[in-house]
Amino acid sequence: MKIGFIGLGNMGAPMAANLAKAGHSVTGFDVAGTTAKGVAQAPDIAGAARGMDVVITMLPNGAILRDVADAIIPQMRAGATLIDCSTVDVESARAVAEQAHAAGLLAVDAPVSGGIGGAAGGTLTFMAGGSANGFAAAEPLFEIMGQKAVHCGDAGAGQAAKICNNMILGATMIATCEAFALADKLGLDRQKMFDVASTSSGYSWSMNAYCPAPGVGPTSPADNDYLPGFAAELMLKDLGLSQQAAEAVDADTPMGARALELYRAFVEDEDGRGRDFSAMLPRFETRGRG
């Protein structure tokens, strides 16, 4: 396939390289001039869209996605597929899909989980929204870049799944960290706390697979001085998107709102920027109730 890839950053570059490695003809474009292994560089954004069977975008946010969509959709040939893998607001995802459909394109919103390691290793999970035809066109590429793809529903459903999942993740990570900090102050050994909670109703991905306490549970960023992993500022972004969506549809999400406040303070006013999102544990450790 002839694939255009727009946004060759931390995630996009290894994803594009994996498509090229699998034998596709990939042409990339990034405003920062970044490149990826095996990927031809387009001279301008139109060059990564014109004549392509598929164009994939992997961009920072919804406003940039909308600008890029304005630039590329008129260049794409009817019947081609636009796949956006960025994490953006549901409204932007739906607006771009509508614009693509009006131009005779297939459109899929397909945000990912799995981070930079998953992008490099081709083990991402894709959460996709769009028509059955759009998903069918995108699926062989998801298989190269990832290990699992779920068709969640119509346009925007992929983004909806992503932000709901990450709202659970943000809240459970905070709950897990504050429980460890309380256990410390109660004199409870962290390993014992893990042994109980990970096999009892305190079980969660945050506790069991990504334990925020160093030296306890499986190896996680806590064992690497809280280097990300999944950076606190990316969690802050996703919690912001989930609150934006909740406001738009009048959903009551008090835990998500509180998680957003805590990660905002952690990233903007404390030392959370550039640290893994599980570094909430040392944050709680050093605090009292005041």
Interacting residues with ligand NAD (CB under 6 A): 6-12, 29-32, 34, 45, 58-60, 64, 67-68, 86-87, 112-113, 115-116, 230, 234, 237
Q: How far is the CB of 12 from ligand NAD (least distance, A)?
A: 5
Nearer to ligand NAD, 64 or 150 (CB): 64
Alpha helix (H) residue ranges in the chain: 12-21, 62-72, 90-102, 115-121, 132-145, 157-185, 190-197, 205-208, 232-249, 254-264, 280-285
Contact between residue 80 and residue 52 where contact means Cβ atoms under 8 Å apart: yes
> Which token pair is 115?
């981070």
Q: How far is the CB of 45 from ligand NAD (least distance, A)?
A: 6
CA distances from 78 to 53, 54, 93, 280 (A): 9, 11, 20, 48
Q: How far is the CB of 168 from ligand NAD (least distance, A)?
A: 15
Any idea what DSSP says for residue 268?
I
Between vectors from CA 98 to CA 92 and to CA 101, what angle results, nearest 5°? 140
By beta carbon distance, the residue nearest ligand NAD is 9
Nearest CA among 266, 206, 282, 205 for reference residue 234:
266
Nearer to ligand NAD, 117 or 140 (CB): 117
Q: How far is the CB of 250 from ligand NAD (least distance, A)?
A: 25
Strands 81-84 and 124-130: unpaired
Q: What residue type is assigned to position 198 of the chain?
A: S
Among this protein's residues, is 185 annotated catalytic? no
Nearer to ligand NAD, 137 or 239 (CB): 239
Nearer to ligand NAD, 9 or 217 (CB): 9
CA distance 48 to 35: 13
Q: How far is the CB of 170 from ligand NAD (least distance, A)?
A: 14
Nearer to ligand NAD, 194 or 277 (CB): 277
Nearer to ligand NAD, 112 or 216 (CB): 112
Contact between residue 146 and residue 128 where contact means Cβ atoms under 8 Å apart: no
Q: How far is the CB of 85 from ligand NAD (least distance, A)?
A: 7
Choosing from 2, 37, 148, 162, the catalytic residue is 162
CA distance 136 to 126: 13
Residues paired with residue 148 on neighbouring β-strands, in sequence order:
125
Kindly list the catalytic residues.
162
